Structure formats: structure tokens, C-alpha cells
Amino acid sequence: MNTTHFIASEVLEISTISDILFQNKNIQLSESAIEKIKTCRTYLDEKIKTEDQPIYGINTGFGSLCNVEISKDKLTQLQENLVMSHACGVGELVPKEIVKLMLLLKVQSLSYGHSGVQLETVQRLVDFYNNDILPVVYTQGSLGASGDLAPLAHLALPLIAKGEVVYQNKVYESKDLLAKFNWKPIKLKSKEGLALLNGTQFMSAYGVHLLIKSFKLSYLADFFGSMSLDAFDGRIEPFNELVHLVRPHKGQIKTAERIREFLKSSELIQQKKAHVQDPYSFRCIPQVHGATKDTLDFVHKVFKTEINAVTDNPNIFVGEDEIISGGNFHGQPLALALDYLKIAIAELGNISERRIYQLVSGQRGLPTFLVDNPGVNSGFMIPQYTAASIVSANKQLATPASVDSIVSSNGQEDHVSMGANAATQCYRLVYNVERILAIELLNASQALHFKKPLKSSHLIESFLGRYQKEVEFVKEDQVFYKLIEKTLRFIDDFYIENELIFD
């Protein structure tokens, strides 16, 4: 097994990142990346020696201070002051898995040779990643416009022995951790602070993490929806391929195909039905889940483009002898994509909660609230309340952040994306949907028990055999939150091959 991924040696796929994380691979700069970094830095050093004109962020101040020229002997101080002054993050800590992704994506972006950083700066970020040295980063502080300035400043502080890091689940002052590894602080050269702080790696890391999670939840929503359909004595006809080929949305066709595959060999789905139609939450699974899949395809495209891009400023083009100040750090593409992802994944939760409601409503041969002796037992009444509460919370979180903007930097930065807010909202929402789906699994498993001796498909029965070792049939009332927690752990540990979830 290859235990190392070479940075910038090929297009970085979301599925590749999933493999890197799942297999706990190290990263290493490719030879071509090393050459590009060194060439760009040499070019910039020579340009500074010979150029007397102001070049934004290299020998000038930043933001609205862009017209203030900085003498050559102050360039290192300029860059270090930039990192320290921009480390203004507040709020909750960014989850460790997101911080690790930020390191990976920052290394990737700096490795294209358009940022002017030193090789040793990028290599130190690689060392942080490979040794699980994770800078302490805060969730609040980015406008998602001049890149993710505050979060990326916290990511960069340990390079200059400032700030804090987490190592082996313990928080260290960065200077102490550097000493532990016998590493000297990086002495930043011209533009390096700006290259480290400009960029979209906070938004991108959240987006990549949540995409991987969302593809998995999309798959599980199909699977748990199939279980609920079978438990509710639903009809298979609405999943017939003919129905979907005359309205050929890709996600719709894929969902129907999956449901048919999941329920192949089910005795329940094949039995004669007393009813002509099912409620929309069952009958329209292909249309609703499918629309989410199509959204995931769009969001996937946006983030694949972003993680293979240069997003700092200014951009250095050695071959063309150009240093150009532009706006690649602006997070608008990501903000819109994250808002779209919020809406799409929220819908998986919305329709899942409706299926939960149908299962506990005492229809289709199922007991009211899925328990014997309802009345004495409340059964699965309140898990549906919990799901409904989460659904409403998600409606609030799904409100687009990208429609907002606010002026900053004395009007120089007069339109911002709010993509960072969209990212942190999306994180909460996606994990909320996982909780709703866990409650659907809990309900569907309970409901299928009441359908015995008839069985579901071989695939579903095999899955239930594993799940019910963790969460047994509920005969009478008990403490339900523990069952939900066990179900969440089961879902979290449930591994799906990439070719299944990224299809």
C-alpha cells in the first residue's frame, strides 16, 4: 500500500483526499512542486533587488494601506506583523480534522509556484501535517473575501513560533513544540505572510470534509429510505426505470436504481398491496434524494476546481515576468456552493423526518409508536419530536449566508462573500442530518421487526444483523438517547467504498 501522497503531482480529487484521510497517508512535495516553489522564490528575490516600483503586499502595506511603501529592511517584519495582527479568531475551535485538511490544502495551493514562498515554509507545513501538529484555529473571524484571513493567520502562527498547537491531544505553545522537534522558527521573507493568509483553505477544508460526509449521507439516506419503504409496506412501482427515463435527471435515475438494488429479493416489497399509492416521502424518494445528488455533483465540481487552484494574492507568473494583484482569494464561488449544499442536505433530513412520522403513525400493520402496549409505553413517539426539532433548526441554518455582505478595511474590501459563515453553518447542518437519519434507522429497524416472519432483502437483513447487535428491538420504554447515540456511532463507523459514494 502506498502510504505517501505526492503534492501537486496530479489533479487532486475529493476521492483522493478521502483515501489520504482514511488510510492516514503522509504527504510529500513532488519534485515538480519543489522546482516550481524554488523558481518562483528566486524570481521574486531578484525582482525585489531590481524593482523600485511598489508591488502590492510585497513592498507595500495591506488592504486600505496598499499605498504605503515599505523599505526593504522592513519586509520580514512586515510579513510577521501581518500574521500576528490578523490572528483575531474567536469562538469555538475548528475541529481537528478540518485543521488537518487546511494544512493539506494550503500546501497544495502554495505548490503551484505562483505564490513566492520559500521551500522551507511549505516543507514546515508538510511536517506539521505528517506529525499531526495541528495549529489552534477558531471558527469565527473570516469574511470569506480576502481569503480566510483570521483562520489562516492562526494556521500560520506556529511557523514563526507564535500561537498554539495541538499535539497528541495536548495543547502546546508553538515555541515549545518547535523546540521539542528541534525546529527553528521560519523567518518569513517578502510576500510570505500574505501568501499564507490569503487563500480559501478554511472554506475549502470545510467544504471538502462536508462533501465527503454528504456523499456518505446521501447513500445512507437511500438505504435507510429503502428500509422504511419496506417496513411501511410500500410499493416498488414508483422506482421502475421507465418512470425516470422520461424525466432523466441523473440523480433521480441513480436513486431509483439504488432503491431497486437495495430491495432486490425482499419478500415484503413483493407481497400484494392493499393500497394504490404511498405518501410522497416514500413515492418521491428518487425525485427528492436525486435532486440532492445533482446538487452534490455541482458542489463537487466547484470544490475540485478550488482545491487545485492558486487563491492567494498577488499572483506571480515567472514565465511572463508578471506580478499581478487580482482577487482569487474572494470566496464567492464557495459561499454559493456551501449555501446550495446546506439546502440540498437539509432536504434529506426533511423527507427522512416525514418517513419517521409515517412509521410511528399506526398505519400499514404497524403498531402506534412502534411499540407493544402503546399507552403504557410511549415507544418511538419522542424520537420523532427530536427529528422534527432538528429539521426546523436546519431550516434556519439553511438560510443563505452568501446574500449578505459588509464593508471592511476602510472601504477597500467593500464586498465580501460570507463563505466562512456558510461553511460553519453547513457543518452544523450536515451533522444534524446525520442525527435525523440515525433516528430513521432506529425506527425502520424497529418497524421491520413487526413484519416478521416476512423478510426484507438479503442486503438489508445482513445489515440489520450487524446493527441489531448494537441496538436491539425495543420491547418497552427505556432511555432512548442512548439508542440514538449507539446508532450514530454505528453510522459513523460504517465504511462505504469511494466508488459507491462518489458515483
The catalytic residue positions are 56
Strand-pairing partners, residue 377, are 374
Burial class (CB in 10 A: 0-12, 13-18, 19+), 275: exposed
Which of 404, 485, 477 minimizes the C-alpha distance to 442? 485
**What one-letter code names the amino acid at 367?**
P
In the numeric block, the cell 506583523 is attached to 81
Rounded to whole angstroms, how far apart are CA atoms 266 and 214?
27
> CB under 8 Å to 297, separation ≥6 — which residues?
250, 251
What one-character-per-residue DSSP string does 267-315 give?
Answer: HHHHSPPS-S---HHHHTHHHHHHHHHHHHHHHHHHHHHHHTS--SSSE
How many residues are present in the chain?
A: 503
Rounded to whole angstroms, how far apart are CA atoms 421 and 29?
31
Distances, alpha carbon 448 to alpha carbons 224, 351, 455, in Å: 12, 19, 8
Rounded to whole angstroms, how far apart are CA atoms 131 and 178?
12
* Strand 26-29 to 4-7 pairing: parallel
**What one-letter code names the amino acid at 254?**
K
Q: For residue 414, what is its C-alpha cell?
A: 467593500
Distances, alpha carbon 210 to alpha carbons 156, 167, 213, 222, in Å: 23, 24, 5, 18
Rounded to whole angstroms, how far apart are CA atoms 414 and 105?
27
Q: Can you tell me whether residue 404 is helix, strand or coil?
A: coil
Which of 291, 468, 459, 281 minimizes the C-alpha distance to 384? 281
Helix (H), strand (E) at residue 170: strand 170-173
> CB under 8 Å to 223, separation ≥6 — which residues?
258, 262, 460, 463
Which of 33, 23, 164 minimizes the C-alpha distance to 107? 33
Inter-residue contact 391 to 436 (CB < 8 Å): yes
Inter-residue contact 480 to 377 (CB < 8 Å): no
